[in-house]
Amino acid sequence: MSTQSPGATCRLVRVAETERPGVTVFHGARPLPALAGDTLLTALLCNGVALRRSEFDEGLRAGFCNMGACQDCWVTLEDGSRIRACTTEVQDGMRIRALDGP
Amino acid sequence: MSERAPAVLIVGAGPAGTRAAETLVAHGVRPVVVDEGLRSGGQIYRQPPEGFSRPASALYGFEARKAEAVHAALAAVRESIDYRPGTLVWNVEGGVAQTLGPEGVGRIAFDSLILATGAMDRVIPFPGWTLPGAFTMGGAQVALKAQGCAIGEPVVFMGTGPLLYLVAYQYAHAGARVAAILDTSSAADALPVLPGLLWGGRTFAKGLWYMTWPRTAGIPVRRGIVPVAAEGEGALEAVRYRDRRGREHRVACTGLGIGYGVKSEVQLAELAGCEMAFDPLAQQWLPEADGDGRARDGAVYLAGDGAGVAGADAAELRGRLAALAWLADHGIAVDRGERARLRAKLRRIMRFRDALERALPVPFHLARALPDETVICRCEVITAGEIRQGRALDPAELNRAKAYTRVGMGRCQGRVCGPAAAQILADARGCDVAEVGRLRGQAPVKPLGIRAGALAAVEDNSRAASI
Amino acid sequence: MSAVEADVVIVGGGLVGCAAALRLRERGASVAVVEKNQLGAAASGVNFGGVRRNGRKLAELGIAARALGIWKRLPELVGSDCEYAITGNIKVARSEEHMVQIAAHAEAQAGYGVEVEMLSRNALLDRYPWLGPSAIGAAFCPSDGQANPRLVGPAFARAARAAGAELFELDGAAHVERDGNGFVVETESGRTLRGGALINSAGAWGGRLSARFGEPVEIWPMEPQMVVTEPAPYFMEPVLAVVGGDVYARQIPRGNVIFGGRSGTADLDVGFGKVHAEESLTTLARTIDIIPCVADLAVIRFWSGVEGCTPDHLPVLCPSRTTPGLVHAFGFSGHGFCLGPASGAVAAELALDGRTETPIEGLDLSRFDTAEQPAST
């Protein structure tokens, strides 16, 4: 199931440093291309995937401060553990739970 | 039996923490340096991960040499300090800092603490600011500097302060498309304090350069605007604002950087027992300290933007001064001439900062005027209207409003929404913002994973409660 | 500042004091309350939020029964349900010995009209599959529930004020004495209050005030310390406690799990509880034994507060034996939130009538009588 609402997707746009080795992270079953050295936030948002749902309104969330202060970007890994996306560097094969459940 | 050397813990490895560590090492002291960042430099001189190739000149612009010097300073003392990157201090209690790092939860006992906890963006919410695609100005800068990414295509920058123009410049320079710079202040605001601004000399000149640069690059700059809303289905599609004459405009964008200057990260200072006082210029409660950063004699020292925002150059000076104060307080001879020189330099910068803060007062009137339905607390999704209605319950101060409405009660513990919430509550009560107080700092200062915490539990049944 | 005159003066504007004030106004008496902190913000405002009879000491069940009736009427009484919800309460055993203990208690409680269902391990896990392997059975009390402690005390304060009570916060009683047939209270700000009767609902500080009238009660500060997680999908309806008290937990519908079991630190002279985070780490470890799925969540806040504990962990709720017109209602020993609304009502009745219909045997001061400590002066 798609994790995006109808309408726009948020998307980070790579403008530099694109020569790094590629890695793959999984959002649910969906493989997403990323680059070594990406944070999890970068990896997901470069693929137009929002990070989480707000618990208290209809909105999707995609981080805000990008420096570990606002706590807006916590995501759930496949094993159930929780991780802050903006301060976690991706590992090849990292698996993140999709927003609509596995 | 010889006494053991006092244990000094430095929190933060930005410009202040780095210079404090360097100064202590130069006097034969080996501090523990704990830093949340995986690499030193703090937010301002943040270093990209391994494998990134852009040169410092591209990452830090005018400040490249300073950034490299700060990085080199930490590298040079790395073997002479106990350096723990990627580690959060989530609580300070008595003489112990509780940490969360690669090894899990740990404890660091200290005799003295030098806090160099830095700053984060000061945020004024507005309708739609929680949409995916909206970031703080600092967040937008981190995306570019540390990840080589723009936060959208195109991007709008909105708010006020020097960072507005600097980040826009960095984006355009990196090839990202900047649709507009929307400044809530009008240039005229700066005129009455120009004599004060001249103290800044080079800094002010740089600021002016950043402010005039967009015109030559063909990027529209609108001053004196009022943010209306960010809008989009599921993610940001456009931002609306009113111009000086009250006409509304809409700019299409998928990325929005928002910022109104930066504010100090003071939670650990508060937990460490520092007295807090309201600073009317910063519109923030700050830990009290003397000019050298002495907050609690012999025990707690403050350095850098965490002790009141004054910028990276000041942070380096304040890091050195705090370390020298610690050394002097602990009977270690220091060069008095050097201290005097550092203090004089710092005074000049502080004079400039003071003038700048007066020139660009934080436009918190924007928060007070927000429509009721605007989300203020993005963690708990608490609106301006709920804070105002909570007024009917008569909260005398902000912690009471938090108790009633849950504003500031979420994952960020009010870091992001606290200042705006205080303004809205004060406005609803018709009182000065200082009177509604501040959200009290509570441990853990950032979320603490339960599994990690549980693994570190020390079994001690002597204190079991019975309820 | 001219003196405030009232039929009853109340020292301590927590849940008990504010509920007493509201009851007094319902009865037509004039009342003034002084509170050194913010109204309802000390032990009343920072406790766990359980509203239960399950596992409660028998001496408290009479007031607890009356309290239940008041909790259900909160909207009409104070204009808000204060997030009170009947969710049930499970008291979990982790050993056969504990199982025997809760079964015996359940039987004793039945005599007080408290319906408790004993659940075997299988029945328990069928119903609450999120429980960990250390739970071997439980006593389930369906009529128990929970509420938001941050809201309840202030709601009673507002209702009392709206009903005509005079409440003064951030202004503690500096001096209290008998004056003719009544009492005079002078506050820290220099305010004077005179009342025909006086209610001592000063919580952890109640022992100091009772000693003033020749009735010393040893009160130890206790500092229940809570942990709250980030919001998680709702999975846990009932409030949970384990035998031994080292874990209690509940989840609110918004998703946060709130739990506790260990103590912070407090100094009655300072006046507030301080978190002792090491203790909370122990609570985390104990809790994931019982509710393993919380291990994945993050803690977003610890908090603590001061409560007063008596030598036998039961409240003092009685007329003074030395001083006519003086009523004690303090030292709730961590049990005061559920009992608060009814304890206030009882204190009000004792102040006006000298008696109450609610059974409060065993909560008076005679239980502390010893040879060295005369019953009256």
Tell me which H or E stretch contains C183.
Answer: strand C182-187
Task: Verify whether the Cβ–Cβ distance C254 to A56 is below 8 Å.
Answer: yes
User: Nearest residue on chain A to B410, judged by CA atoms?
Assistant: A71
Q: What is the DSSP letter of B111?
A: S
Residue B392: its pLDDT value, please?
A: 62
C-alpha span between C92 and C243 (Å, rounded): 6
How far does CA C283 lie from the centroid of its chain? 21
Helix, strand and coil percent figures for chain C, each rounded to 5: 35, 30, 40
Q: Do B39 and B106 fall within a single domain? A: yes
Q: Which of C254, C255, C296 lies closest to A82 in CB terms?
A: C296
Q: Do B250 and B131 fall within a single domain? A: yes
Residue B460: its pLDDT value, please?
A: 53
Residue B186: its pLDDT value, please?
A: 86
Residues of chain A above pLDDT 70, percent: 89
Listing DSSP states for B40-70 in one string gives: SSTTTTPPPPTT----HHHHHGGGHHHHHHH
Number of Cβ atoms within 10 Å of the Cβ of C189: 12
Q: Do B431 and B387 fall within a single domain? A: yes
Task: Verify whether the Cβ–Cβ distance B51 to A87 is below 8 Å.
Answer: no
Superfamily of domain C4-48+150-218+311-368: FAD/NAD(P)-binding domain (3.50.50.60)
Phi and psi at residue C55, to the nearest 5°: 75, 5
Number of Cβ atoms within 10 Å of the Cβ of A20: 18
B245–chain A nearest CA distance, Å: 31
Q: What is the mean pLDDT of residues C218-245?
A: 94
Contacts of residue C89, Cβ cutoff 8 Å, sequence gap at least 6: C50, C52, C54, C55, C140, C141, C144, C145, C238, C239, C240, C241
Residue B396: its pLDDT value, please?
A: 74
Q: Which of B91, B404, B454 lies closest to C285 in CB terms?
A: B454
Q: What is the mean pLDDT of residues C43-63?
A: 95
Residue B115: its pLDDT value, please?
A: 98
Preferred mutation among B141, B144, B145, B149 to probe A, highest tally of A CBs within 10 A: B149
Q: Which of A14, A62, A84 lies closest to B149 in CB terms?
A: A14
| C372 pLDDT above the threshold of 60 | no
User: Nearest residue on chain A to C232, judged by CA atoms?
Assistant: A55
Of A97, A101, A67, A102, nearest to A80 by C-alpha is A97
Structural domain boundaries in chain C: 4-48+150-218+311-368, 89-142+224-305
C-alpha span between C29 and C22 (Å, rounded): 10
User: Nearest residue on chain B to C283, judged by CA atoms?
Assistant: B454
Would you say C94 and C100 are in contact if contact means Cβ atoms under 8 Å apart?
no
In this prediction, residue C324 has a pLDDT band, given cuts at 50, 70 and 90, of very high
Contacts of residue B126, Cβ cutoff 8 Å, sequence gap at least 6: B227, B228, B229, B230, B258, B366, B370, B374
pLDDT tens sequence for chain B (467 residues): 446 788 999 999 999 999 999 999 999 999 999 999 999 999 999 999 989 999 999 898 888 999 999 999 999 999 999 999 999 999 999 899 999 999 999 999 999 999 999 999 999 999 999 999 999 999 999 999 999 999 999 999 999 988 898 899 999 999 999 999 999 998 666 555 555 555 556 666 677 677 778 888 889 999 999 999 999 999 999 999 999 999 999 999 999 999 999 999 999 999 999 999 999 988 999 999 999 999 987 899 999 999 999 999 999 999 999 999 999 999 999 999 999 999 999 999 999 888 888 888 899 999 999 999 999 999 999 999 999 987 666 777 899 999 999 999 999 999 999 999 999 999 999 999 999 999 999 999 999 999 999 999 986 544 444 33
B399–chain C nearest CA distance, Å: 10
Chains near B (3 or more Cβ pairs under 8 Å): A, C
Residue keyed to tokens 């407090």: C266
C-alpha span between C297 and C259 (Å, rounded): 13
User: Nearest residue on chain A to C295, judged by CA atoms?
Assistant: A81
Q: Which two tokens stand for residue B322?
A: 């705090």
**Which of B198, B231, B257 is the last residue in one of the domains?**
B257
CA of C37: how far to CAs of C26, C40, C249, in Å? Answer: 25, 8, 27
Q: Please tell me the least confidently modeled range out of B185-189, B444-448, C28-32, C283-287.
A: B185-189
Q: Is the minimum CB–CB distance between B392 and chain C shorter than 8 Å?
A: no
Q: Cis before residue B85, ω within 30 degrees of 0? A: no
Contacts of residue C353, Cβ cutoff 8 Å, sequence gap at least 6: none
Would you say B148 and B357 are in contact if contact means Cβ atoms under 8 Å apart?
no
Whether the CA torsion B27, B31, B35, B38 is positive or negative: it is positive
Residue B366: its pLDDT value, please?
A: 97
Interface subset of A 5-24, CB within 8 angstroms of B: 5-21
Tell me which H or E stretch contains C109.
Answer: helix C96-110
Of C213, C132, C226, nearest to C178 by C-alpha is C213
In this prediction, residue C377 has a pLDDT band, given cuts at 50, 70 and 90, of very low
Residue C265: its pLDDT value, please?
A: 79
Beta strands in B74-189 (DSSP E): 82-84, 88-93, 96-101, 104-109, 112-115, 119-121, 134-136, 149-150, 155-160, 178-183
Of C168, C172, C167, nearest to C36 by C-alpha is C172
In three-state secondary structure terms, C67 is: helix
CA of A89: how far to CAs of B148, B152, C132, in Å? Answer: 14, 21, 33
C-alpha span between B44 and B33 (Å, rounded): 18
Q: Do B187 and B154 fall within a single domain? A: yes
Interface subset of A 60-99, CB within 8 angstroms of B: 60-72, 74, 81-82, 84, 86-87, 89
Would you say B219 and B178 are in contact if contact means Cβ atoms under 8 Å apart?
yes
Task: Verify whether the Cβ–Cβ distance C222 to B413 is below 8 Å.
Answer: no
Structural domain boundaries in chain A: 36-96
How many separate domains does chain B show?
3
Q: Do B115 and B203 fall within a single domain? A: no
In this prediction, residue A4 has a pLDDT band, given cuts at 50, 70 and 90, of very low
Which of B191 and C333 is assigned the larger pLDDT? Answer: C333
User: Strand B112-115 relative to strand B8-11: parallel, antiparallel, unpaired?
Assistant: parallel
Q: Do B152 and B208 fall within a single domain? A: yes
With contacts defined as CB-CB under 8 Å, which chain C residues touch A74?
230, 298
| C89 pLDDT above the threshold of 80 | yes
Tell me what the pLDDT averaged over chain C comes to. 94
CA of A20: how far to CAs of B56, B144, B448, in Å? Answer: 18, 15, 32
In three-state secondary structure terms, B356 is: helix
Beta strands in C305-355 (DSSP E): 307-309, 316-319, 326-330
Q: CATH assignment of C89-142+224-305? A: 3.30.9.10
Q: List residues bridging with C266 in a β-sheet.
A: C273
Would you say B446 and C300 are in contact if contact means Cβ atoms under 8 Å apart?
no
Please give the angle made by the CA atoms of B289, B290 and B295, to the nearest 5 degrees.
Answer: 35
Of C329, C332, C331, C326, nearest to C351 by C-alpha is C326
Would you say C70 and C342 are in contact if contact means Cβ atoms under 8 Å apart?
yes
Q: Which two tokens stand for residue C228?
A: 């709250």
Task: Verify whether the Cβ–Cβ distance B411 to A72 is below 8 Å.
Answer: yes
Question: Is B154 domain-assigned?
Answer: yes
Question: Is B139 domain-assigned?
Answer: yes
In tens, the pLDDT along C157-210 reads 999 999 999 999 999 999 999 999 899 999 999 999 999 999 999 999 999 999
Residue keyed to tokens 């400590």: C373
Of C40, C74, C238, C224, nearest to C146 by C-alpha is C238
With contacts defined as CB-CB under 8 Å, which chain A residues touch C235?
none
Of B94, B120, B95, nearest to B36 by C-alpha is B120
Query: What ipTM is given for this predicted complex?
Result: 0.93
Q: List residues bridging with C242 in a β-sheet.
A: C92
With contacts defined as CB-CB under 8 Å, which chain B residues touch C241?
467
Task: Verify whether the Cβ–Cβ distance B411 to A71 is below 8 Å.
Answer: yes
Q: Which residues constitute the domain of residue B375?
A: 365-436
Whether the CA torsion C348, C350, C355, C356 is positive or negative: it is positive
CA atoms within 13 A on the CB side of C158: 19
Task: Verify whether the Cβ–Cβ distance B234 to A12 is below 8 Å.
Answer: no
Counting one residue from chain A and one from chain C, the pairs whose CB atoms sit within 8 A come to: 15
Whether the CA torsion B159, B163, B164, B167 is positive or negative: it is negative
Task: Verify whether the Cβ–Cβ distance C298 to A81 is below 8 Å.
Answer: no
Interface subset of A 32-71, CB within 8 angstroms of C: 55-56
Question: Is B1 domain-assigned?
Answer: no
User: Nearest residue on chain B to A58, judged by CA atoms?
Assistant: B234
In this prediction, residue C1 has a pLDDT band, given cuts at 50, 70 and 90, of low
Preferred mutation among A79, A82, A96, A97 to probe C, highest tally of C CBs within 10 A: A82
In three-state secondary structure terms, C15 is: helix
C-alpha span between C15 and C43 (Å, rounded): 9
In this prediction, residue C246 has a pLDDT band, given cuts at 50, 70 and 90, of confident
Of B16, B34, B47, nearest to B85 by C-alpha is B34
C-alpha span between A66 and B7 (Å, rounded): 33
- CATH number of the domain at B278, please: 3.50.50.60
Q: What is the pTM of this model?
A: 0.94
**What secondary structure, in 3-state letters, does B456-467 show?**
CCCCCHHHCCCC
Residue A1: its pLDDT value, please?
A: 37
